[in-house]
Each structure stands twice: as C-alpha cells, then as structure tokens.
Structure 1
Amino acid sequence: MKINKWILLIGLCAVNFCLGQNNSIKKPLKDIITATELKFNVKFSYAFDDVSDVVIEQPSPDYNLEQTIAYLNSKTLLNFKILDSRYITVSVIEKNISICGWVVASENNEPLLGASVVVNNSNKGIITNDNGKFQLNDVPLNATITISYLGFKNLQIPAKYFFSETHTCKQLVLTENKEELNQVLITKFLTTGFQKLLDGSTVLNTQSFGILPGLTDPDILQSIQTLPGVESINESIANINVRGGTNDQNLMLWDGIKMYHSGHFFGLISAYNPNLTSKVVVTKNGTSSEFSDGVSSTINMYTKNELTGKFSGGAGANLISADVFLEIPVSKKLELHVSGRRSITDVFKTPTYTNYFDRSFQDSDIKTTNESVENQTTTSNFIFYDYTAKVLFDLNENHKFRANVIGINNNLDYYERVVDNGESDSKSSNLSQENIGFGGQWMAQWNSKFKTHFTAYYSRYNVDAEDYSIETDQLLTQKNEVLETGFKLNSHYKLSDYLSLLNGYQFNETGILNETTVTKPVYDRTKKDVLLNHALFTEATYKQEGTFFRIGARANYFQKFNKLLIEPRLNLRQKVTSRFALKVEGEFKNQSATQIIDFQDDFLGVENRRWILANEKNSTDPTDRNIPISVSKQGSFGLEYHQNNLNIEATGFYKVVEGITASNQGFYNNFQYLNAIGDYTVKGLEFLVNKTSNSYSAWVSYTYSINDYTFETFTPSVFPNNADIRHSVSIGFNYDILENLKISLGGVWRTGQPYTAPVEGNETVQSGNSTFVNYDTPNSRNLDEIKRLDASLSYKFNIYQSINASLKLGVINLTNAKNIINRYYKVNPNDSTTAIQVNNTSLNLTPNVSFRVYF
C-alpha cells in the first residue's frame, strides 16, 4: 500500500513537472493560434506574414479564451481583438521601437567596424562602431533593416526581429562574399564612406559619406583630392594631378562609359551628381588589366546597381544649384533611377556664385559689368545642368540587364554693346560645353564558378564657340568634338575560394574633330582623325590569409598604325605580422587621346584645351603636330601599419611617362609655340597617418616628389615640370558632436607652382613686326606657398516618419588667403620693351549652404 502511494506521488510529480516544462516550451505563434481555434471553437483573422516569424511560450492550458488573448497581447507586438463569440482579429501594432545589435564576420566572429545599418525606404541609418555595435531609435515596427559591408553578402532583417522583452541586443552574422577577392582593408579611411581595398585603391561610398572640410555635398572629384598624391595645382577639379600627371591622363569612367569632361563652372564643381552614385574607385598604380587609356590614374564611378523594390528619392539645393533624384520601382523585375541638377544662378545670384564666376573667368575675354569701360556695357549669362537615367531589369537571378544615360552641359552667353558717336554696335558670343553618354550592360551568372559581364557604350563630347569682334567685324567659330563607341566582354572564372581568373576583350573606335573658321580674312581649317583599338587582357587574383596577389597583362593593337603594345600589371600585398604589411605595385599603360593647350585658338579665353588623337607621325599635313601614343611605366613599394584603428602608410613611387608633347603641357615660356616630343619622370614618397574611432577621425598626409621634363630638342633639355610640387601637406579632423551633428576642419599647405620669368633688363624681343616676351630659364622660379583652411558643419534630422533632411554649411578658404596659383607675362601694350606680370588667384573666402530632403 505504501509502495502504491509512492508510485502515485512520483507520477503526480512527473506530470506536474512535464506540464511545467510544456508551459515553458516555445512554439510558433501560428501553431498556438490553430490550437486555440480548436480548443475554443473560434476563428482568427490575420495576415500570414504578420505571424510567420513569431515564436513565444505557449499559454497555460488552464486559461480561458479571454486570458489566452490577454496573454498573446502581452507576449507579441500584435493586437488580438475579440469581435464576438466567434471571430478574433489580429493586426500589427503601429509603433516605433529601438533596435540594437552587433555585426560580426561569419568566419572568425570578429566585429565589423563601419558596417552600414540602414532602415529601408528612409534616410535613417548608422555605421557600426569599433566593436561592431549599433543602436537606432524610433524605427517603425514594420520596417526592414539592411546591413551591408563591402566584401560580404547583404543581410535583410525585419525590425520586429529585434523586439525583446529584455531589450537585449542581437548578434548579426555577415557571410563573406567569396567572389569578392579584392576586399576591404580599412573600413573607415579619413572619413565615413572612404574605404581602402586590399589592392591599394580607395573607395568612396557616397551613400554613407560623412563630411570633409569645405564640402557641403560629397563632390566626387573634390573628395578624392584628400588622398595623398592627388591634388590640383590650380584648385580645379578639371585639372586633377595624380602623382605629377596632367588631368587628361586620368581615365574617367561612369558605369563603364568613358567621359571626356569632368566639371561645371569650367572646373570648379564636379559634373557628376553624387546622389545616384553608389561608389567611386580611385586607383593610382597596380591597376587591373581590364583598364588602360589613362597613364596616371583610373577614376571609376558606379551608380546603384541593385533593385530596391521601394520608391525613394530626394531633393536639395545650395547657393549654386538645385537637384532631385528618384528611384522608381516599375515591377518586381524593373526599376528606374533618375536624377537632374541645374544651376540657379541665372535666377538668383549669390555671393558664392560671384566668387566662382570671378575665379573661373578672371583671365578670359568675359567681362562683368563692374569691369565696363567707357561707352561699353557687357552682360554675361552662365548656366549648367546635368542629368542621369538608369533602367535596371533582372530577367532572373542569373541574368541582369542595365541601360543608362548621362548628360553634362555648360553654356555661357556673353553680350557686349559699344556706343561711339551716337551709334551703337553690339555683339554676342557663346560657349557651349557638353558630354553625353549612353551605356548598356549584361551581367550573366552561368554557374557557380563562371560569370560574364558585357558592356557597350557611346560617348560624345563637344566644345563649340562663336565670338564676334565689333572692331574687326570678324566672326570666329571653333569646335572640338570627340565621338567614341566601344564594348568590353569580361569573363570571370572561380577556380577556388582563393583564386579567380579574369579574361576579356575590348574594342574602341575614337574619332576627334577640330575645326576653326574665320570670316575676315576668310580662313577655314578642319581636321578629323579616327583610331581603332583592340585589346585582349587576362589576370589572376589570389587571396588567402595575409596574402593578396594579382598579376595580369594587356595586349593593345592599334589598327591604324599596325602597332602592338604589351602592358604587364602587378599588385602584391603581403602581411608580415598582425600589424605590418608590405605592398608592391607596378604597371605599364598607354593613352592615345590627349589634350593640347592652344593659346592661339582658345574658346573665349575660358577653355583652351582641345582633345586630339595620336597620329604616330603618319600625317601628310606638314602643319600637323606629331602626336605619339603616350606610354607610362610605374612602380611603387610601400609599408603599412594597422593597430587599434591607427593607420600609417608610407609609399615610394617612380613613374616615367613618354610621348608627351610640348603643346600638351601649356608652357608659359619660350617653348610656348614650339612642337616637340618629350617625357617626364616623377619620383617621390607619400606618407599618411590616420586615426579613427566611432566619433572622430584625424589625419595628416605628406607628399614629396621631384618631377622633371626631358625634351631633347630644347635648351635646356631637362627642367622642372609645371606640376612639380615638391612638398604638399594635408591635415583634417572630423568630430561627431552629436549623433546627427558633425564638424570637419582641415587645411592644405604646399609649395608654389614653378613659373618662368622674363630676362631682367631684356624683357621682350622683336621678331619681324611681332614682339614677344623674352623668357628666362624655364620653370626656374616658384610661386609663393599655398595655404588654405576649410571647414564644414553637418546636421541631419527627421521631418516626418520616413522623411529625413540634412543641413550643411561649408566654407572654402576660411582665412581668405590670397593664393597665387598661376603666373605668366605678356607684352606691355603701352611700352613694348617691358612685360606685364599676370597673376591668377585662387578662390576667395567662399561659403556655401545646402539643404536636402530624403524620402
């Protein structure tokens, strides 16, 4: 009897224990709803997606219907409402929540600093800190969160996943993209949105761009000038000098379209709207073999390339222009991205516009009303605009098609009226500068190891000018036109997780027209050249642990000249210890289209650069310049140190560019009107120290270089390059005062540009009926050092739900330094035995304010 009592007691305890355990077991909410419907003979009305991911502890079996519903309301973010004895509705609670988590890599569980955490269809987002952690407040419960990091697969999670009664943060694991061998080395480089890749190139992610001194928007070509070895000797993005090269030696690509024009305001503002630009990759050396035709650098701009499925966009304005961009989903497989920007200065002239105008046209035929002479009145009207459009179509996961168009335009109208003896004469002049491009892409993933990428494009660049002279009744018409079509086929084969092969073929047809027409005396000269180029390229990329190695070659065949150029490429980065790494880079490159600077046939004195094609001395016209194909050879060796978000880099480089022409360099000396072929050699050292954290970034960079010309037919044959800047220092500091309030302060110091002065006591010489400046030894003197301090302030705020805004203030040349960026001489019209010194100055103190709205 006692045994039976013990057995009964043990059984009751076991049942109670099991029941207790069952109450604590978590089950899918949809299963609990089904069981409740059967138990109480009721019917729930709900959307499957609202309950599909919800898992909770099942309610007590002793609960009645009312207690069960109360329990479900307390354990979920859903509203369970009893309508009558039969029906119960389930709806999502409209509320905002706070989410937090930390992002780690799948392979080693290491935190990822700088991962982007964005609330879809809004401008709300954040970058993970040193520990990979983030927190966002006021996130809509029904929102979707996208977490991305270059080199890893994107992760999309519903916001309700983060909801927890204990408010614990979630661990989020990103899986490495094995196909992306060229991974991120530094996630926050100089400022948020700048990243350093393993191959040494730099990426600017405009969507997560932070702030840089003097900028109110992430101006693409202004931003990259913060990198060591990249600067502009005349503070113009139309004249970016990379390791001592000229602007035309930079290959500029927009979604695979080669662009021949870069700036508005004739070089002061980037012509590329950053709002639809996803990233910009800048490579100074060790370039992939799929790129050539730019002997100094490659600036590769990519627009957003993935379907978002959400309607979004934004609009903004500053004291120069206004713009708008939209991302419009048409269907699940089709999407349209558009943007447009136009100057507002023809309607509303601001002090910012006045400073830009004076800087751009200070040394031209254009006169403002303030410069009016007696009996003369002048007016000018300058506008610019640009637009882009892109169609994204995904046939399926393996075949994706893209088509895009970009247009850039600058237009200047100049009017002059002269009254003489009661009679009025007037003239109008016009200068138009335009670059339009069309492109298409087909990306195909044939299997897990093999994919192809086909690109085709058309690019047209035009500069047209008409200038009428009242004094001579002469009409001068000038034209420079570039037409280029091309296509490229890349094939990528993945041999393993660590090794991949790239092979491809590229074809380009380039035609360039130069035309000058004069009415009195009658003169007409038209020259058109066409060049066909075929290229085969191959390369292998290997990455494992601390080794990144890429080796390749490119074979270029110029059909017109029956000429073959072989270009080897090398890029190696080897991690020596956990903190130190060595890098070696090398490349051969070529360029067949260059710009000459024509002082005799300029466009209203504003634009005097003309694109021309290489002729390899095959021209039968004795008046033609001999233009060879330019070739470059470059090597560099560097050391990198990384620890606790401290980045130190030192890189020595040596570059030789052969096949340059005297007319390509824009000499202000005795060689100004001579034809000659030469080369330049630049050697130097780039040094960078950058310390970052979640709230600040500080950097200092220093570049030392020696840059010399060699023209064998000149005396002297060796002299300093026009871009010979021996010492250049850049410093900057960014600080997040609050989560949405950032400040940036930075400065530039560099030695002045070389220039040539006249011979003292014998400043001019006469040749026939003409008098010329008698220049001394070329580039034997230097302008005063350049000093400039810039500052920016950025504030982001929420207007309403998914509508966000930003207000930014930028000041260029905060101290209003009077920097001379160029100097030349001309014969004094009042005394032909002396020369007049002409100084071109930099931008004065120039503030700008921008306001943007995102939705």
Structure 2
Amino acid sequence: MKKVLFLVVMGTIGLSQPKEKMNINGYVLDKESGEAMPYANVLVKNSPWGTTTNSDGYFALDGIPKGKISLMVTYIGYETKTETLTALQIEDGPFTIHISPRVLQGEAVEVIGESYEIFQPSEVPGQMTISTRDIQTLPSIGEVDIFNSLKLLPGISGVGDGKSGIYVRGGTPDQNLVILDGMTVYHVDHFFGMFSAFNADAVKDVQVYKGGFPAKYGGRLSSVLELTGKRGGTERGFSLGGNLLSGNMSYQTPLFGGLGNWIVTGRRSYTDILQSSTYGNIFKFVTGTDANPNSQSNFQGPGRGGFSGGAFQQDVIPSFYYYDINSKLSLNPTGRDLFSLSFYTGRDFLDKSRELDFSGFGGGRTRGGTEFETRVDENVSDWGNIGASFKWGHQWDLMYTNLLFSGSQFNSIFERNLTVNGTNVGGGNSEGGARGFGAFAQNEYNTVNDHAIHLDNRLPIGNNNDVEFGLLLNSINTDYKANVRDSISIMDISSTSDIGALYIQDNWKITEKLDFTLGWRSTYFSQTDKFYNAPRISFGLNLLSNLRLKGAWGHYYQFINSITNENVLQGSEEFWLSSNENLLPGFAEHSLLGISYDTGNYLFEVEGYYKELENLVEFSRRFKDNADYNNYFFFGEGTAKGLEFLAQKKRGKMTGWVSYTLGQVINTFPNLNDGEPFYANHDRNHELKLVGSYKLGKDWTLSSTYMFASGNPYTAPMNQYSLTMLNDQSLGYIHVGEKNGFRLPEYNRLDVSISRKWESDYGVLEGGISLYNMLNNKNISYRDYDLDVTPIIASDVNMLGFTPTIFVNFKLR
C-alpha cells in the first residue's frame, strides 16, 4: 500500500511540474522582394498565443511550451504561411519566415486562411490595415492613391473639399497624426484632395487608428495614420508609370553585398501644362463646357445662395501642379541591427487667378464707385512638406528597441492681388488684408519646424503580456505672418514649444477569450509648464469563435493646431499655430464600442463612437469685440458621435464592401453665434460607400466605387449695404446669416475602372482605364462670394467633373 501511495504522489508531482518554456523570435519578409513585412500577424497554431511584427518585420514570443510548433503568418494581400519549427531551430534563432503575395489564378483557387482585399479590420477597435498593393485596382484619376483609398473606409470622410487632409470620425484634418517612417507630415494631399501626398510605390504598410489609439501615440485628438516606407528589395528594379495627369518613377537596388538597400521614387503632375490643351479638350468633350474659367460667366438674379440682389455667377477651375520625392536607405550589418535613413519632400502650386470681362454686361463698378470693364484677381498659393528621419533598430534578445531622430518642415505662401482696369485696388473694409480680413492685396506665410527624438521598446513577458514603453523629446516652432499691401502687418505670431513624453502599455491576454490593453502617457508641455496625463484602455471579448465584442476609452491631448479661418467671402483656409498659455492644448475623450461577426467569407461589423472635445479654436474677423484672444480667436467645445456599419465580402472573384456612417459634429462657442450650438464645418450626417472589385480571369480586374454624402454646412452673406458718413466717405457693411446655417448640395460620385496585367521575362506591364465621376455630377467644393463689386459675384468652386484617364506602369524584372 505504501508503495502504491508513493508512486501516486510522485506521479502527481511529476505531472504538476511546469513544462519547460522557450522563446521565439524572428523576422517576416516578402519572399519575392525581400522587404520586411511590418505589422504581420504571427500565431502559434492550435494555441491562444500570438503577436504582430513591428515596423521592421521583427516579432518575439515568450514563455511558449518547449517543443515542435507551427507558426501561422498572415498579412493582407499575401498568402497565409504555416512554418513548422523544432525546438532546436528555434534555439538557433532569430529565424526568417518568407511569405508570398497572393495571386488569383482564376476560378480554381484554393483559399487558405484569411484573404482580405484592400483593407483588413483589426481585433482592436478602430484599427485597420491598408494594402498598398491591392489599392492599385481601384478607380482614380489615374494614380494609385493611398488617402483617396482611405476615404472609402467607414468613418473616414470620402468627400474631398479642396482643403487639407481627411476627416476621421468627426475630427478635423489637423487632429490626425500622420507619420511616415517616424517623421510627422503636416499636409497630406495634393490639389483639392484629389491626390495623396504619398506615392504608393514608396509605401509598404499603412496602419489606421480611427480612435482609441494606444499610448505609444500622442499629440493628436482624432486618429493616427502610420505609414512605413519600403526598404527596397534584394534585386535591382526600375519602374515607370504615367497617366493623363501625372507621371512617376521608382528605382531600387541592393547595396553592400546584400547588407543594404536603397529605393527612390518620384512623381510630378503636368496638369499645369495640359490643362489648356489635352485636359481642356477632355473637360469640354465630356461636360460640354470650356475648362477656361473666363468663358464661364453669367448673371444670376436674386436669391442665390442666401443673399438678396443680383449676382455675377462664375465657375472656377483652378490650375495646379505638384511633385513629391521619397528616398530610403537601409543597412542591416549584423542581423540584429537595422539602420535606415528616410527622406520625403512634396510641394503643391495652386493658381486660382481669374480675369473677368464685364463689357458684355454694361460694365461693373466697385463699392467705391469706380467703373471698370476688366477685373483681374491674382490668387496664387504654394505649400509643402520636407522631412527626414534616421532610425536605429536593435534586437537585444526578446526586447526590440528603436531609436529615431526626425525633422519635418511645413511651409505655405498665399498671395492675392486685385486690379481693376490695370490699377491695384483694395477692398472696402479698412481692417486689413489677411484671409478674411476684407481687403484683397495681401501676403500670408506659415511655417512649422518639428524636430523629435523617439525611443520605443517592446518586450514580451511570458505568453500573456506584451509590454511597450518609450519616450519622446520634441521641439516645435510655428511662425505665422499676414500682411496687406506688402508692408502693413496684420498678424505676426511666433512660438517655440518643447515637449517631453513618457508612455507604457501592456497588451494583456487574460484568458483565451478576453484581452485588455492598459496604457498611460504623460506629456510635459513647456508653454503651459504642465504635465498632461492620458490613461488609455481597450478590450476584446470573443463571445463566440466568430463573434467579438470590442471597446476602447482614453484621454488625448494636442499641442499644435491648424487654425481654420472662417471667411464668408471665399473658401476657408488654414494656418498652423502652436498651443500656448492663451491657445490652450486641445483635449478629447474617446469612447468606442463595437461588435464584429466573421464567417470567413463575410465580415459584418458595427462600431459606435462618442468624443467630447475641449479647447477648440475658431478664427473669425467677425464679432472681434467679443473674441476670446487677440481680436480674432474664439474658444469652445464640441461633441462628435456616430454609428458605422460595414458589410465586407473578403473572398472569391467578387470582393468589396458596403459601409454607412451616421454622424454628427456640433460645436459650442460662448462668443460665437450668440452662444448657440452650431454644426461644425465638416459635419456630414450621412455617408454611404459601395466598393466592388471583380476578377475577370487571371489578368483583368473590373472595379467600381460609389459615394453619397450630405452637403457641408457653410455661412452665407445675406445682403450688403453702405452708409455715407459726414465727410462723404462711404462705408460698406455685410449682413451675415446664422453660422453654418446653410448646406451645400449633396455629394454624389460614381467611379469605374478596368485594368489588366501582362507579365513576361522582361518585366510586368499594368495598364487600364479609369472613369472618374462617371455620371458627371457637379459637386461643389465651396461657395465663393465677392462683395467688392456690383453686381455681387458668387462663384461655385467645383470639384472635377467626368474625367476619363488612362494609366500605364511598367516594372523591369
């Protein structure tokens, strides 16, 4: 009996002994190009353990039971790869797993694992991954465009309005943190939002956080868009591409016997050259009107756009061009160290000048009584970014460290000058000449210099905790100047801010079904000499194997703002200013809750969001006696709330999605609009988006997108009048309606494209036809009022009408 008890006790002790653990680390690379695969999913099959690679393609798992395992790697647009490894192979790590781009070979395709097209929602609320490889099949103006593709996603506004950036869940463009290889980019699109400032040929991965983003990121209130640039492949390559509006090229080559890589890409539009010939002929052919704005003039009677009295109506088609250049040099000398040097520059040139001939309408006159037949309005802007970053990534053991130095500059120049019969004139308001100040002859300059040091670390602890921690040292200088008649200074604001931040977060897998991410970010801001603490939390709960509940909550602060100038005479403009003791840092509280149901072939998802916003800034020349600061700045608060619905078909020859967003953004400023709440400039109640892509055999792809959105609110002048003073001087006054009391018409746009790929031993040729705004809907960017003359000029500045384009790209093998 004693022997039996002894054997039972010893057996029990043996069974209770913990299994020997092992650590797993390695890299995920593209099999064809050798590129690192950032943010790929790495899972241990038949277990609850998994992780994602970092921006360098590195992953690590700690505390995995020792023995033979199978790792499954997934990445959007790539075949799922399963790699079986022995304990001995793992101990010799780090090892490399290669994954191959997915190729559709027709109907007889065996689909293994996930097969997302274009974008992949995350298990984390509000997060998505975008495939820069797959977006090339979507309709466009001819250019593969990252940010226009983002506008097709739920919760991201799909209406380009001629201003900078995108609108995420009721946020403004300046509330998005846009990062390219660690450098902050302040202006993210080209002309009228039609083109992204980022060349898709230079970008490997796009991570989108629509809200509730983790503690690693800070300095913005709305969202994070992190772009990782390509490093260049293991083989030399060259590609050329072009369409009716722009051309592009890229070159990549290995260096130092395969220890390094270099890639450079460039784009330039030639619309400034073709608008008067090829582009003008296309526009006239498809719309029946001339692309020359001077020929589109007519007189409108009373009641146009909210004002009384007749108006001289004119459509304006601006002239523009842009360019951008990307370069990245990478070096991996030891297998544990990665050095990279990235460079980016991009610039826009926009000319909205126009010349009006009133001779056919009996002439015109200014409010001062000067009669004229010709009126020239010179209106020229150019703006752009330039930046660079240097990064050292080091694998210690399980922990991975990235040390990054970055510098970024944004600057813009705006100049406007009005002449009548060849003589320079000013407006009838003596208050000044910056945007919206009244007179026209003006100059305006804005510069942002941003220098930063980032230290980011990631360390798995056991198989249930993945800890990230780091710091940021940041210096931001902003400078804004506005002059009238070249010499009279209206506004001159300069500011330098020093920012220091520490963060830590733990991705904690509590059970197989429940996971939490707990984070904390603390930021010191020199202008207010205060610390700003921002707790963050998110969770995911698998209710069933394919049904997941997820949510997030957090505090967010912003220390630099793009000030939107309210101007009822022309479209709003923006300039960047750093926060200070008067322009307090912005604050937002995010609350998110969603549920997703994934059948494998289909994904259904609903997410709701609610954001409370404080220390918002409005800039207006009206009611300056009531301004909160410096005559023109008003402070207030707001709320943004909405529901997003998504149905996505992920697999097969036909893929795509339908999304609908119901949203509302309301602001309240005590000293604006009599303290009554009003709709934000970017408020859109409804947005419907349909995206479809159909594979026609092996090489052909037919794609289509459709967008519907409510019109933007705007403020309109109701009427104007003048008073004659005792000295016989005439002063003009404008009566303005309720703030954002009017709305532009609804936005509708249908795009269609068909593309084909040809492959040979020499290279890959891709080409196609894209039909932008196929139904030729006249969508208005903004309404421009000129009250310096009689009759009043009201101009609808339109977005592009029906624009067919042909695109071709050739890549040498």
Normalised to the residue count of structure 2, the TM-score between the two structures is 0.73
The CA deviation at 1:390 is: 0.8
Corresponding residue for 1:819?
Answer: 779
Aligned to 1:409: 347
- Offset of residue 631 of structure 1: 0.9
Counterpart position of 2:688: 729
1:783 positional shift: 3.3
Query: Which amino acid in the other structure matches residue 233 of structure 2?
Result: T
What is the match of residue 454 of structure 2? 488
**Paired position in structure 2 for 1:577:** 544
Is the counterpart of residue 793 in structure 1 residue 754 in structure 2? yes
Deviation at 1:729, TM superposition (A): 1.1
Matched, 1:839 2:796: yes
* Within-5 A mapping of 1:513-532: 513-519=479-485, 522-523=488-489, 525-532=491-498
Against the structure 1 CA distance between its residues 385 and 756, is the aligned structure 2 distance closer, same or farther, given a 3 Å change threshold? closer
In structure 2, what is the equivalent of residue 155 of structure 1? 98
| CA shift for structure 1 position 600 | 7.3
Contact 2:785-2:795 within 8 A present in 1 as well? yes
> Which consecutive unaligned segments of at least 5 residues does structure 2 have?
1-40, 49-74, 83-94, 101-107, 285-290, 299-315, 360-373, 427-440
Q: Map of 1:201-280 to 2, 5 A cutoff?
A: 201-209=127-135, 211-214=137-140, 216-236=142-162, 238-280=164-206
In structure 2, distance between residues paired with 1:562 and 1:440? 30
2:574 maps to which of 585, 609, 613: 609
Deviation at 1:345, TM superposition (A): 3.0
1:376-395 pair list within 5 angstroms: 382-395=320-333
Say whether the 8 Å CA contact 1:820–1:839 is kept in structure 2.
yes
What letter corresponds to residue 797 of structure 1 in structure 2?
W
1:461 corresponds to: 410
Number of matched pairs? 665
Q: 1-side partners of 2:278 and 2:646: how far apart?
A: 32
* Superposed displacement of residue 344, structure 1: 2.5
Tell me: CA distance 1:215–1:490, structure 2 relative to 1, closer, same or farther (3 Å). Answer: same
Task: Give the equivalent residue in structure 2 for 1:503.
Answer: 469
CA contact (8 A) 1:597 1:665 kept: no
Aligned-pair distance for 1:153? 5.9
- Amino acid in the other structure paired with 1:196: P
1:442 to 2:398 alignment: no
Q: Please give the alpha-carbon distance, in whole angstroms, between the structure 1 residues aligned to 2:111 and 2:168.
A: 40
For residues 579-625 of structure 1, the C-alpha deviation after alignment (integer angstroms, 9 at most, x for no partner) is: 211001122111111112346799xx7883111111222xxxxxxxx
The answer as to whether partners of 1:818 and 1:842 remain within 8 angstroms in 2 is yes
Q: Tell me by how many angstroms 1:734 deviates.
A: 1.2
**Per the alignment, do residues 721 and 172 of structure 1 end up closer, same or farther by CA in structure 2, a change over 3 Å counting?**
closer
CA gap 1:706/1:170 in 2 versus in 1, 3 angstroms: closer
What is the rounded CA distance, in whole Å, between the counterparts of 1:214 and 1:616 in structure 2?
44
* CA displacement 1:89-110 (0-9 Å, x = unmatched): xxxxxxxxxxxxxx99762499
CA distance in 1, matches of 2:352, 2:806: 28
For 2:35, the equivalent position in structure 1 comes to none
Would you say the 8 A contact 1:665–1:722 is kept in 2? Answer: no
Q: Which residue of 1 aligns with 2:221?
A: 295
* Aligned-residue offset at 1:441: 0.5
Partner of 1:320: 245
Label 1:741 to 1:493 Cα distance change in 2 as closer, same or farther (>3 A): same
Residue identity over aligned pairs, in percent, reads 25
Counting only pairs closer than 5 Å after superposition, residues 298-377 of structure 1 correspond to structure 2 as 298-305=224-231, 308-331=233-256, 332-349=258-275, 353-354=279-280, 370=295
Q: Per the alignment, do residues 666 and 221 of structure 1 end up closer, same or farther by CA in structure 2, a change over 3 Å counting?
A: farther
> Once the two structures are superposed, what CA deviation does each residue of 1:484-514 show, in whole Å capped at 9, x if it has no partner?
1001101111102331111111011000111
Q: Is the 8 A contact 1:765 1:774 kept in 2?
A: no
Establish whether residue 677 from structure 1 lines up as the match of residue 635 from structure 2: yes
1:632 pairs with 588, 593, 597, which one? 588
Q: Which residue of structure 1 aligns with residue 362 of structure 2?
A: none
Q: Does 1:808 align with 2:768?
A: yes
Deviation sequence 1:512-565 (CA, Å, 0-9, x none): 111234456644753311111110100001346444421101001102211111
Mapped to 1, the partners of 2:769 and 2:797 lie a distance apart of 27
Could you say if the C-alpha distance between residues 417 and 479 of structure 1 is closer, same or farther in structure 2, counting changes exceeding 3 Å?
same
Report what 1:477 is aligned to: 443
Post-superposition offset of 1:464: 2.3
The one-letter code sitting in structure 1 at the alignment partner of 2:588 is S
After TM superposition, the structure 1 stretch with the greater mean CA deviation from structure 2, 716-725 or 503-512, is 716-725
Contact 1:187 1:194 in 2 (8 A): no
Which residue of 2 is the match for residue 137 of structure 1?
none
Separation in 1, partners of 2:716, 2:99: 64
Report SS of the residue matched to 2:590: strand
**Candidates 688, 691, 697, aligned match of 2:646:** 688
Corresponding letter in the other structure for 1:690: Q
SS in structure 2 at match of 1:637: strand
Aligned pair 1:399/2:337, yes or no? Answer: yes
- The CA deviation at 1:355 is 10
Q: Is the 8 A contact 1:757 1:781 kept in 2?
A: yes
Aligned residues of 2:274 and 2:280 also touching (Cα < 8 A): no
Change in CA separation of 1:271 and 1:187 when aligned onto 2, cut-off 3 Å: farther
Call closer, same or farther: CA 1:662–1:427 in 2, change over 3 Å: closer
Counterpart pick for 2:599 among 628, 643, 654? 643
8 Å CA contact retained: 1:460, 1:482? yes
CA deviation map 1:268-305 (0-9, x unaligned):
21111110200111101221211112211111111124
Secondary structure (helix, strand or coil) at the match of 2:133 reads helix
User: How far apart are 1:647 and its partner, in Å?
Assistant: 0.5
Partner deviation per Cα, 1:411-444 (whole Å, 9 max, x = no partner): 3578899999xxx999987533121001010100
Cα distance in 2 between the residues matched to 1:352 and 1:235: 25
Mark the CA change 1:418 to 1:453 in structure 2 (over 3 Å): closer, same or farther: same
Report how far residue 237 of structure 1 moved.
Answer: 7.2
SS of the aligned residue for 1:386 comes to strand
- TM-score after normalising by structure 1: 0.70
Which residue, 631, 654, 673 being the options, matches 2:610? 654
Cα distance, 1:591–1:156 mapped onto 2, change above 3 Å: closer
In structure 2, do the counterparts of structure 1 residues 657 and 106 end up closer, same or farther at CA, with 3 Å as the change threshold? closer
Q: Select 1:698's aligned residue among 656, 659, 669.
A: 656
Shift of 1:777: 3.1
- Relative distance call for 1:430 and 1:842 in structure 2 (3 A) is closer
Q: Which has the larger radius of gyration?
A: 1
* Matches of 1:170 and 1:299, distance apart in 2: 33
Structure 2 letter corresponding to 1:336:
W
Give the letter for the 1:729 counterpart.
Answer: L
Partner of 2:328, secondary structure, is strand
Structure 2: how far apart are the matches of 1:407 and 1:821?
A: 27
In structure 2, C-alpha distance between the alignment counterparts of 1:171 and 1:781, rounded to whole Å: 54
Per mean C-alpha deviation after superposition, the further-off stretch among 630-639 and 780-789 is: 780-789
Q: CA RMSD in A?
A: 4.3
* 1:240–1:354 distance in 2 versus 1, CA, 3 Å: farther
Deviation of residue 705 (structure 1)? 1.6
The structure showing larger relative contact order (alpha-carbon pairs under 8 Å, at least 6 residues apart) is 2
User: In 1, Cα distance between the equivalents of 2:282 and 2:523?
Assistant: 42
Q: Which residue of 2 aligns with 1:784?
A: 745
Shift of 1:346: 4.2
